[in-house]
Structure 1
Amino acid sequence: MSDENQSFGQALVRSLVGERGHIRIAKALPDIDLDLAGRTHEAMPYTIYQLVKHMHYWQQFMLEHIQGRKPQMPADVSESWPVEKGPQDEKTWQEDIQAFLSGIDQAVSIAETAQLNDPLLYFPGETKGGLLRNIASHNSYHLGEIVLLRRFYGAWPPPGGGFPA
């Protein structure tokens, strides 16, 4: 692995987990309970639950491409948003959070080991590193919305604080 690839991989890892620019994603989600996950706010079109499910949908879509598979593109982007406002129960919600965080771990592992400028078989013009960067920026964007919703609801900061660490 070249020094350039390794440096880019390390930068991707920091972006994927949420270092420096914002709170780590893994610290911002696990304490969100069933009620908070499905709460609606007039200033936002989505609940925290819907945001996490949407983030997970696209994260998995991009990870499949990185792994050389060709996931089915939705007919419309609205298909990546769940219709339900909240999870069915606490156990399912915690499983949703863990599935999303496991995808981040998978992306980190790829960033640490893959040749990041390798092109993707079914995504012309894109590389493994490019899609990992896309995962990081998409998750970061929506994490900001989750933090904002938590602030609206008086549920911020999470245990351990709400600043980058």
Structure 2
Amino acid sequence: MDIKKEIVKTLKDLLLKSNAHVNFAAAVKGLPAELRGVVPAQLPYSVWQLVEHIRLTQADILNFSRNADYQSPAWPEGYWPKKAAPVNDAAWEQSLNQVKSDTHAFIALLEAPEADLFRPFPYGDGQHLFREALLIADHTSYHTGEIIAVRRLLNAWK
């Protein structure tokens, strides 16, 4: 058995599939445009803010993982959108597409023949591809759960 191949398969499943939870794509599918920016009284964020937070954080991890000169944005303002709603449908679609594109870009890093999943990056504090893949999967799963909660409070879950 090729252990790297098995590990990469497991990481891809965590990044792309539902496993024990609804995946990101299913959680945002079919959300009416008029509800994307609504912040329920019981929760601090709209679905748009959560989608953008996922996108911004994932992009940060991806860029950190492939570029030693990359500088992460300031916390927390660089990881959360300022507005509760997207400016238009194109911004919504662009954000969803970027999450998908960056997920596949990270998978390409994992699948690269020269990738050593556990070799620490020559920069940072001991991070490596395996750890960063788990961070993306965990972060996205956690906030996808919040998206579902917001949708339920808005009675918009099918």
TM-score (norm 1): 0.85
Which moved further from structure 2: 127-136 or 17-26? 17-26
Q: Distance in 1 between matches of 2:122 and 2:79?
A: 23
* Structure 1 equivalent of residue 10 of structure 2: 11
* Structure 2 equivalent of residue 127 of structure 1: 128
* SS of equivalent to 2:125: strand
* Structure 2 equivalent of residue 147 of structure 1: 148
Q: Is the 8 A contact 1:18 1:140 kept in 2?
A: no
Structure showing the higher strand proportion among its residues: 1
Give the unaligned 5+ runs of structure 1.
Answer: 158-165
Give the unaligned 5+ runs of structure 2.
Answer: none
* Structure 1 equivalent of residue 61 of structure 2: 62
* Structure 2 equivalent of residue 97 of structure 1: 96
**What is the one-letter code of the residue matched to 1:151?**
R
TM-score (norm 2): 0.89
**What is the one-letter code of the residue matched to 2:111?**
E
* SS of equivalent to 2:73: coil
Which moved further from structure 2: 99-108 or 36-45? 99-108
* SS of equivalent to 2:11: helix
**What is the one-letter code of the residue matched to 2:21?**
H
**What is the one-letter code of the residue matched to 2:135?**
N
* Structure 2 equivalent of residue 42 of structure 1: 41
Q: Cα RMSD over matched residues?
A: 1.7
Q: Is the 8 A contact 1:116 1:129 kept in 2?
A: yes
Q: Distance in 1 between matches of 2:69 and 2:52?
A: 20
**Alpha-carbon distance change, 64 to 43 in structure 1, aligned in 2, over 3 angstroms:** same
Identity score, percent: 28
Q: Distance in 2 between matches of 1:138 and 1:7?
A: 22
**What is the one-letter code of the residue matched to 1:135?**
I
Which moved further from structure 2: 47-56 or 71-80? 71-80
* Structure 2 equivalent of residue 29 of structure 1: 28
Q: Summarize deviations over 1:111-136 as a string: whole Å, max 9, x none.
A: 33332112213322111111011011
**Alpha-carbon distance change, 68 to 74 in structure 1, aligned in 2, over 3 angstroms:** closer
Q: Distance in 2 between matches of 1:115 and 1:27?
A: 32
